[in-house]
Amino acid sequence: MIVNKLCKRIFVLVFACVFLITSCRQTPSGSGNISLGGADYRLTTEEFRIADFTKGVPDGFWARNDRGNGHPFNCSFQRSNAVIDEGKLTISLTKSGDNYVGAEYRSSERFSYGFYSVKMKAAKCSGVISSFFTYNGRPWDEIDIEFLGDDTTKVQFNYYTNGKGNHEYIYHLGFDASEAFHEYAFDWQPDSITWYVDGRAVYRATEDIPSVPGNIMANIWNVADNNAGWAGKFDDSYLPVRAEYQWFGYQSAE
């Protein structure tokens, strides 16, 4: 009888420990944010590719040509560093004298809730960010898919709501995103954002979700030295570096 009671107590204790460990793994960024581990499957069909670079230059998109965004961006943006050719958009980070030149490609139109996707190959270089995201500056609402060039076997998901961020989540891909094209996506709904890798749902946020329509964007840029802890120390000996895109996709939630 004593042995049976002891076994039961050990079982309960082990079960409680497993439950706590599992719960911690599923809530890396707060009680409402969950690591899914490939729960659903959803790929973009050709009809929803709103910027298909495999077919040439799309309507409704353009490249920036200006001094850039300031800190933490450590480059200007030039139209000449965004090239559509051979069935893809290539955005490059280069050096011009003592200055660095990146690129940003964006939609003229703003988009609201729905399924956003991209087929891309990330840039590989410590201190360099390549991305696909939605953005509205007033108020600052943003949803991100970002590759930190010091380790492109990972992708960072993030979002901002009225300027409030700190929702970063790093997902381990199981492959190098700089070596081949893969599809990355997020499904933005009023009460959640679900991120996908090659069709599999891998992460969901349900707290303080953005609500303001934004432009669809992709860019490449290098961080300043004081952001080396985030994206790695920038090493310009690898320049030029590039990110490549086959298409952007959007399917309205309506």
Residues annotated as part of the active site: 142, 146
Contact 208, 79 (CB under 8 A): no
CA 223 to CA 158: how far, in whole Å?
17
Q: How far is CA 88 from CA 1, 64, 82, 159, in A?
A: 72, 18, 10, 27
CA 189 to CA 69: how far, in whole Å?
28
Encoding tokens for residue 245? 């895109």
Encoding tokens for residue 229? 């802890």
Amino acid identity, position 200? R
Residue 2, exposed/middle/buried by CB under 10 A (0-12, 13-18, 19+)? exposed
Q: How far is CA 65 from CA 39, 56, 78, 106, in A?
A: 41, 21, 4, 12
Instruction: Tell me which residue of 221, 244, 217 sits closest to 127, measured CA to CA.
Output: 221
Peptide bond into 190 cis (omega under 30): no
Cα angle for residues 174, 180, 181 (degrees, 5° grid): 100
